[in-house]
Amino acid sequence: MMTQLASETPTARGARSGESLRIERVTKRFKQGDTWVEALREISLTIQQGEFLAVMGASGSGKSTLLHVLAGLTWPDEGHISIDGTDLSRLNDSQLTSFRRRRIGLVFQAFNLIPTLSAADNITLPLMVEGRRLPSAELENLARRLGIENRMHHRPDALSGGEQQRVAIARALVTDPALVLADEPTGSLDSVSGQNICRLLRELHEQEKRTIVVVTHEPTVAMWAERIVVLRDGRVLTEFATRDFSDAHSLAAHYQDIVQAQDDEVAR
Ligand code: ADP
Ligand code: MG
């Protein structure tokens, strides 16, 4: 999509030809009262170009922090993150903001739409802040792909949760990013709407070869990915391929076994 934009972001397309996203020994600490909490502890992870990865883990295991450092929303205290060969630590604040806007699409559990704007204006906002505009035919295309073409003039409060998340995904895609990061994207949705959002993310991966990283604690969501990385206490506990599981039930059972075994070890 968007020939006009593609020419403005020459690296975005080339980036889909095999380069990857690399996290090297990243540590992130937060101050909580008088103590420091290590949300990420020397975590290393490589994500292949065009891969669909799910990050699982209990609440507080560092999933959101990982997504935030990947998106350049927060700086790691130690370690390096590179996206398509760009070391984020080499960018200054404004370069990082520009990089993020053009190269990364972000999707959150709470949709984060602007309530006073129509769906159409929410979607095109990332371009408007950069003084760019989207030809209406391309907006229509994008809306149709996401099944929200009849919702474009509605404000968020007139939309269902599933529709709001589709608008948020359209907004994430409007800059044609190679990388889409989603933090519990189905966490506020009923299971049918949630599965539809998962199907959509899977299509973005399969048909458009985008790299997708989804944070979730739900096996029924993680099952849509190719690979699952499990975090625990800011570290990678284990990882496995979803193709080794016949369905979300067997995946959930395996996940429970891993977590239980770890709990037993800690208790011992
Ligand atoms: P998850 O998304 O897996 O639930 P988070 O990444 O949100 O986990 O949090 C990991 C750890 O870091 C938790 O102990 C959490 O309390 C802490 N943490 C995260 N963000 C902050 C913050 N802004 N200030 C202080 N502590 C934080
Ligand atoms: Mg979280």
Q: Is 37 in the pocket of ligand 1 (CB under 6 A)?
A: yes
Q: Is 198 in the pocket of ligand 1 (CB under 6 A)?
A: no
- Alpha-carbon distance values, 167 to 55, 66, 106, 141, 180 (Å): 23, 24, 12, 13, 14
**pLDDT tens per residue across span 37-88:** 999 999 999 999 999 999 999 999 999 999 999 999 999 999 999 998 899 9
Q: Which residue, judged by its Cα, is nearest atom 24 of ligand 1? A: 30
Intra-chain end-to-end CA distance of the chain, in Å:
55
Nearest-CA neighbor of 217 among 39, 41, 59, 45?
59
Amino acid residing at 213: V
The domain 10-114+177-267 belongs to what CATH superfamily? P-loop containing nucleotide triphosphate hydrolases (3.40.50.300)
* Separation of alpha carbons 103 and 236, rounded Å: 25
d(CA 39, ligand 1 centre) in Å: 6
* Separation of alpha carbons 159 and 92, rounded Å: 38
d(CA 79, ligand 1 centre) in Å: 18
Q: Is 92 helix (H, G, I), strand (E, B) or coil?
A: coil
Q: Which residue, judged by its Cα, is nearest atom 13 of ligand 1? A: 60
Q: Which residue from 27, 31, 35, 37 has its CB within 8 A of the most atoms of ligand 1, so it is best to mutate?
A: 37
Q: Please state the pTM of the whole predicted model.
A: 0.90
d(CA 63, ligand 2 centre) in Å: 6
**pLDDT tens per residue across span 179-219:** 999 999 999 999 999 999 999 999 999 999 899 999 999 99
**pLDDT tens per residue across span 251-267:** 999 999 988 888 888 88
Q: HSE-up of 90 (CA within 13 Å, CB side)? A: 6
